[in-house]
């Protein structure tokens, strides 16, 4: 009877591990990295410019050197990036 109990525990642990790996795999697919550099019309880095994927909640903000980057859970397709900033020359 003790052997039966141990075998059941092993099966449950394997099942939980399989479920966890399946969920992890499902969440990792569709994650794309979007990154780039924003410059002003004069070629200098444009800082604090917001970047979003139009129609989604995914986005980020450019740092002091104009670089931005974020991960987005998107399906394959074409998307539009929207850049928003305040200032001249952006």
pLDDT digits (tens, 9 = 90+) for 42-89: 999 999 999 999 999 999 999 999 999 999 988 888 999 999 987 655
Tell me the DSSP string of 29-71: TTEEEEEEE-B-TTSSB--S-EEEETTSS-EEE--TTSEEEEE
Query: pLDDT at position 89, please?
Result: 53
pLDDT at 26 over 90: no
Of 25 and 87, more confident: 87
pLDDT at 29 over 90: no
Residues in the chain: 90
Query: pLDDT at position 61, please?
Result: 95
Quote the pTM value: 0.62
């Amino acid at each position: 009877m003790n052997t039966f109990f141990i075998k059941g525990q092993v099966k449950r642990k394997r099942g939980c591990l399989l479920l966890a790996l399946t969920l992890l795999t499902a969440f990792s697919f569709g994650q794309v990295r979007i990154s780039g550099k924003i410059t002003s019309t004069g070629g200098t880095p444009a800082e604090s410019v917001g970047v979003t994927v139009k129609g989604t909640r995914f986005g980020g903000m450019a740092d002091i050197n104009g670089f931005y980057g974020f991960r987005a859970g998107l399906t394959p397709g074409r998307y539009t990036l929207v850049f928003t900033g305040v200032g001249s020359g952006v």
